Structure 1
Amino acid sequence: MAAEQVAGAMSPIMAFAVVGVLGVGSQWLAWRLRLPAIVLMLAAGILVGPVLGLFDPARDIGPLTGPLISLAVAVILFEGGLTLDFHELRDARHGVRRLVVIGAPLGWLLSTLTLRYGAGLGWESATVFGGIMVVTGPTVIAPLLRQARLSRRPAQLLQWEAIVNDPIGALAAVLALEVVLTLRTSEQLGHALWTVAFGVAIAAIIGLGVGFAISRAFWRNRVPEFMKVPVLFVALIACFALADTVLHESGLLAVTVMGLVIANSDLPSFVELRRFKEHATILLVSGVFILLAASLDFAMVQKLSWRTIVFVLAVVLIARPLTVLLSLVGTDLPRKERLLIALTGPRGVVLVAVAGLFGGRLAEAGVADGDLVAPLAFALVVFTVVLHGFTFAPLARWLGLSAAEAPGVLLVGGSRFTTGLAEVLKKAGVEVLISDPNHAHLIRPRALGIRTFYGDILSEAAEHQVELLSYETLLAATDNDAYNTLVATDFAPEFGRDRTWQIGRAKSDKSRHALPTQLGGRPFAAGRTHDALDGLIEEGWSFRATKLSEEFAMADWREKRPDAILLGTIGPKGTLRLLAGDKDPDVAAGHRLVFLLPPGTAVEEPAPAV
Structure 2
Amino acid sequence: MIINTDYFVFLFALLLLTGVVATKFSNYLGVPALVLFIGVGMLVGSDGLGLIDFANASLAQLFGILALIIILFEGGMQTDWKRIRPVLYPSLSLATVGVLLTAGVVAVAAKYILGVGWLEALLFGAIVGSTDAAAVFAVLKGQSIRSKLSSTLEAESGTNDPMAMFLTLALIELLLRDTSSYWLMIPSFIWQMGAALVIGYTMGQVAVAIMNRINLDSGGLYPILALGFAVLVYSSTALINASGLLAVYILALVIGNSDVPYRHSVFRFNEGFAWMMQILMFIVLGLLVFPSQLIGDVIIKGLILSAILILLARPISVFISLLFFKFSIKEKVFLSWSGLRGAVPIVLATYPMLAGLENSQMFFNVVFFVVLTSTLIQGLTMSPLAEKLGLTGDKAPVSPHSLELVSIGQANADIIEYFLSEDDAAVGKQVIELCLPDSVLIVGLIRDGELIAPRGQTEMMANDIIYVLTPKEHSKNLKIWFKLGRCSS
Q: Which residue of 2 aligns with 1:381?
A: 371
- Kindly indicate whether residue 43 of structure 2 is the aligned counterpart of residue 80 of structure 1: no
Match of 1:137 among 132, 139, 142: 132
Q: Which of 107, 111, 123 matches 1:112?
A: 107
- Among 263, 270, 275, the residue aligned to 2:256: 263
Deviation at 1:132, TM superposition (A): 2.7
In structure 1, the residue corresponding to 2:391 is in which secondary structure? Answer: coil
**Which deviates the most, 192-201 or 328-337?**
192-201
Deviation for aligned residue 1:134: 2.7
Aligned 8 A contact 1:82 1:259 in 2:
yes
Task: Provide the rounded CA distance (Å) in 1 between the counterparts of 2:399 and 2:69.
Answer: 39
Q: TM-score, normalised by structure 1?
A: 0.61
Check the 8 A contact 1:168/1:253 in 2, yes or no. no
Candidates 144, 152, 157, aligned match of 1:157: 152
2:404 is matched with: none
Query: What letter matches 1:326 in structure 2?
Result: I
1:213 aligns with 2:206: yes
| Aligned partner of 1:292 among 279, 285, 290 | 285
Cα-to-partner distance string for 1:103-155 (whole Å, 9 max, x where unaligned): 23222322322322344443333222322323212222233323541011111
Please give the alpha-carbon distance, in whole angstroms, between the structure 2 residues aligned to 1:176 and 1:283: 32
Q: Kindly tell me: are residues 382 and 190 of structure 1, through their superposed partners in 2, closer, same or farther at Cα, counting changes over 3 Å?
A: closer
- 8 Å CA contact 1:340–1:395 kept in 2: the answer is yes
8 Å CA contact 2:444, 2:452 repeated in 1: no
Compared with structure 1, are the counterparts of its residues 484 and 215 closer, same or farther at alpha carbon in structure 2 (3 Å cutoff)? closer
Three-state SS of the structure 2 residue aligned to 1:487 is strand
Question: What's the Cα RMSD here?
Answer: 3.8
Encode CA deviations 1:252-301: one digit per residue, 9 max, x unaligned. 23322322332344435444423321221111100000111022124543
Deviation at 1:340, TM superposition (A): 0.7
2:446 paired residue number? 487
Give the Å deviation of 1:410.
10
Find the counterpart in structure 1 of residue 389 from structure 2: 399
Residue 484 (structure 1) shift: 8.8
User: What is the identity percentage for the equivalent residue pairs of Structure 1 and Structure 2?
Assistant: 24
Does 1:237 pair with 2:196?
A: no
- Structure with greater contact order relative to length (CA < 8 Å, sep ≥ 6): 2
Of 167, 171, 184, the residue aligned with 1:172 is 167
Distance 1:22 1:388 in 2: 24
Letter in 2 for 1:215: V
1:410–1:218 CA distance, 2 compared to 1 (3 A): closer
Match of 1:336 in 2: 330
Q: Indicate how the Cα distance of structure 1 residues 360 and 150 shifts in structure 2: closer, same or farther if over 3 A, else same.
A: same
Which residue number corresponds to residue 324 of structure 1? Answer: 318
Specify the SS of the correspondent of 1:134: coil
Q: How does 1:13-162 map to 2 (within 5 A)?
A: 13-49=9-45, 50-58=47-55, 64-146=59-141, 148-162=143-157
For residues 383 and 258 of structure 1, do their structure 2 counterparts lie closer, same or farther at Cα, with a shift above 3 Å needed?
same
- CA separation of 1:63/1:339 partners in 2, compared to 1, >3 Å: closer, same or farther? closer
Counterpart for residue 565 of structure 1: none
Structure 1 pair 15/359, CA: closer, same or farther in 2 (3 Å)? Answer: farther
Larger radius of gyration: 1
Structure 1 pair 463/211, CA: closer, same or farther in 2 (3 Å)?
A: farther
Instruction: Name the residue aligned to 2:339.
Output: 345
Quote the Cα distance in structure 2 between the aligned partners of 1:114 and 1:73.
29
- Cα 1:85–1:174 shift into 2, 3 Å: farther
Partner of 2:141: helix, strand, or coil?
Answer: helix
**C-alpha distance in structure 2 between counterparts of 1:23 and 1:383, whole Å:** 20
| 1:332-371 superposed Cα distances (whole Å, 9 cap, x missing partner) | 212211111112211112222222x213124x1xx32111
2:62 maps to amino acid: P
SS of residue matched to 2:10: helix
Letter matched to residue 232 of structure 2: A
Unaligned runs of 5+ in 1: 413-456, 465-477, 492-499, 507-518, 521-610
What is the one-letter code of the residue matched to 1:42?
I
Q: Give the Cα–Cα distance (whole angstroms) in 1 for the partners of residues 236 and 207 of structure 2.
A: 16
Tell me the secondary structure at the aligned position of residue 73 of structure 1. Answer: helix
Question: Relative to structure 1, is the Cα distance of residues 222 and 177 closer, same or farther in structure 2, using a 3 angstrom cutoff?
Answer: farther
Shifted more, 287-296 versus 92-101: the winner is 92-101
Q: Deviations over 1:514-555 (max 9, x none)?
A: xxxxx99xxxxxxxxxxxxxxxxxxxxxxxxxxxxxxxxxxx
Alignment partners' CA distance in 2, 1:408 and 1:328: 25
